[in-house]
Amino acid sequence: MNQPFLKRYNLGIGLQEEYFHGDIFSKNDNYLITPGKMDFLQTNAYSYLSFDNMDDFYFPSKGINMYVEFTLLTDFKNSNVIYPALLFKMRNVIPAWHNLN
C-alpha cells in the first residue's frame, strides 16, 4: 500500500514473501549445504518513507531525493528469529556551475 501526501512525500507498508530453492548464489551443482537448508520461504514486513523535490525525474538540475525503509525479515519454517534491517538512500543534485539550466 502506498500513500502520497504533501506532494513530495510517499509513505508505504507491505508484506512480501519469496521462496528460494537450491543454490541461489551460483550455478554450481556441488552443494556444500544440506538440501533441507537450501529451500526456504522468506517473509518480509516493511514500511518506507520517501521524499523527492527534484525538478526533473531523468535529468534534475536541483533538489534532493531520500528513501528510508525498515524491514522485519524471517523464515518461519526453519526459525522464529526476526531480523530487523534499515535501508537509507539519498541523492542530492550539485550543479557543476551556477548557470546550469
- pLDDT exceeds 90 at position 31: no
Exposed/middle/buried for 48, CB within 10 Å: 0-12, 13-18, 19+? middle
* pTM greater than 0.85 (yes/no): no
* 67 burial via Cβ count (<10 Å: 0-12, 13-18, 19+): middle
For residue 54, pLDDT over 60 is answered with yes
Query: Is the per-residue pLDDT at 85 higher than 90?
Result: yes
In the chain, domain spans: 2-92
pLDDT tens-digit series, residues 7-26: 899 999 999 998 877 655 65
Q: What top-level class would CATH report for the domain 2-92?
A: mainly beta
Task: Answer yes or no: is pLDDT of 28 > 90.
Answer: no
**In 3D, which of 72, 89, 90 has the Cα closest to residue 81?**
72
